[in-house]
Structure 1
Amino acid sequence: MTTTTIGLIAAMAEEIAPLLKAAERVEKVSVGRFTTYRVQLGDSTVWLVQSGMGEHHAAAAMEQLLATATPSVIISFGFGGAVLKGLHVGDIVIGVSSWRYSQSGFQLQPGGAHPCNEAVIAALASEGTGRLTVGEIITSTQILVKNNLAGKLPGGMSAPVLDMETAALAELAHRHGLPLIALRAISDDAGEELGFSLQEFTDEELNIRPGKVLATIIRKPRIIPQLIRLARNSKLAGKKLALAVRETVLYLDSQDPQGGNHPLRKAGE
């Protein structure tokens, strides 16, 4: 086992819970304002922080993680929405590029890919973690209409996935000179257009408010079947995601840090 310190970050409790359930030991740590855990996966001990939704929360939580654990690699994981056909619920996408989408269009972010991703992809494929795809992660501050977005994609995108945090994490990882591994499990495929906006469920800080959720359901009862379906999909995606994160951790922590082929070494180092 190496002395590599691995930091994990995810937005929501639903994304984290399956991993905690599969862990050998979980210790909740009182540091900062974000919920933080020390988690034992096999023989590896990692730090995990729950950020909440959105880039602002993700960046602040990562700063806390860096100050608390000084990790040598960051694994960002969570659910994502497929933009194009071909990705199915439960598929795992490893981000090899990070994009931010706004009214001004698409912006490629620094730090969205690292040579270690190739080694991790090969390791996950050999462990039978399920359908594994290399793709692009698109970060947006709002729920987008996938059908409309598909026609605007930059050329060359093969498996784009929507989320709300990765762009900020990629930017911050790049600034600190850290490799970022971004894993997303598909919770809604390209044909699943969400029948509600984020603002209908959250406050201005993107915290989900049960009262707003209930009010939206009363106002839009037609979304109830979709919410039930999304909950079922998220349960499946969470199990696949936990396995992928665990295997990624075990692989990284099994490598010889002095070896010339260590996955965290950049090309030419």
Structure 2
Amino acid sequence: MRIAIITAMKEEMAPFRSQSQITARIQVGKVIIEEAMYQGQSLILVESGIGKVNAAVAATLVIERYKPDVIINSGSSGAFGAGLDVGDVIIATQYVYGDVDATCFGYEPGQVPQMPAKYETDAEWLKVARQTAASAELPYALDFGLVLTLDSFMSESERVEGIKSTFPLVKVSDMEVLAIVQSAAQYGIPVLSVKAVSDIAGHGDVTANSFDDNLDVAADHAAHFTDLLVQRLRSIGIAC
């Protein structure tokens, strides 16, 4: 079974590259795809670039060219959920676009017309993530829940409160993962998303500075749990 790991930024990919032997590399536009040996496991590492379009292009390229059996999206996120702190990790159970509005045509908030109102993580893969979390002693808090994808960095308090009002169950937001999920769904490829908190949404410059200051921490924590997932998949025979 082939596993592809997609991150948006080089900082989020750095923990994987530092432990990998890169055997091949291509670049198409912003997208960098590397074949790697990672702790004895053959992986496809994909640095997509920031935003929905880059993420969708990256997912499509890696699926068409390498045909992975599962994609793991690892990276940073902004926290909406009460009690979340920098460094905490969220495993996505559901995905919704936070900036799509076709409600005047009868669609749900966040629903792209003629597409599902929300996307859900495949139950069997989510079970693996839950088992991985339950069996590990983690140096950070970990939770499961709704992840929003938007084309905005969520630093403005008024916008954040509006998002919370519309999507009260949201845990964190990012700028890529649902574009990956939606693209992969067209091919029947499952996606697991591991998002670590780099900042608390809605605090203006404090939020932006927190992202800058804590991106490496978030990248390391997301990569740590992603590594545990890869190890568990290998140990139970899903990946070889």
| TM-score, scaled relative to structure 2 | 0.83
* Partner of residue 51, structure 1: 48
Counterpart Cα distance in 2 of 1:28 and 1:132: 34
* Post-superposition offset of 1:241: 1.4
1:83-232 aligned within 5 A:
83-102=80-99, 104=101, 105-107=109-111, 109=117, 111-115=119-123, 116-129=125-138, 130-144=140-154, 145=156, 146-154=160-168, 157=169, 159-190=170-201, 193-195=203-205, 228-232=209-213
* Partner of residue 216, structure 1: none
Counterpart Cα distance in 2 of 1:31 and 1:187: 27
Q: Tell me the secondary structure at the aligned position of residue 186 of structure 2.
A: helix
Indicate how the Cα distance of structure 1 residues 110 and 7 shifts in structure 2: closer, same or farther if over 3 A, else same: farther
* Post-superposition offset of 1:228: 4.8
* Partner of residue 216, structure 2: 235
* Post-superposition offset of 1:170: 1.4
* Partner of residue 30, structure 1: 26
Structure 1 unaligned blocks of 5 or more: 196-224, 263-269
Q: Tell me the secondary structure at the aligned position of residue 231 of structure 1.
A: helix
Counterpart Cα distance in 2 of 1:230 and 1:71: 31
Structure 2 unaligned blocks of 5 or more: 102-108
Counterpart Cα distance in 2 of 1:103 and 1:254: 40
- Whether the 8 Å CA contact 1:51–1:58 is kept in 2: the answer is yes
Counterpart Cα distance in 1 of 2:68 and 2:120: 17
Q: CA RMSD in A?
A: 2.2
Render the CA deviation track for 1:37-68: whole Å, top value 9, x for unaligned.
22322221100111111111111111111122
Indicate how the Cα distance of structure 1 residues 194 and 228 shifts in structure 2: closer, same or farther if over 3 A, else same: closer
Counterpart Cα distance in 2 of 1:246 and 1:142: 28
How many residues of Structure 1 are paired with residues of Structure 2 in the alignment?
221
Counterpart Cα distance in 2 of 1:38 and 1:103: 35
* Partner of residue 75, structure 2: 78
Larger Rg computed on CA atoms: 1
Among 15, 37, 40, the residue aligned to 1:40: 37
- Whether the 8 Å CA contact 1:101–1:139 is kept in 2: the answer is yes
1:127 maps to a residue whose letter is A
- Whether the 8 Å CA contact 2:98–2:163 is kept in 1: the answer is no
Are residues 1:247 and 2:228 paired?
yes
1:106 maps to a residue whose letter is G
| TM-score, scaled relative to structure 1 | 0.75
**Percent of pairs identical after alignment?**
24
In the TM superposition, structure 1's runs of 4+ consecutive aligned residues that sit over 4 Å from their partners are 108-111, 225-228
Indicate how the Cα distance of structure 1 residues 111 and 148 shifts in structure 2: closer, same or farther if over 3 A, else same: closer
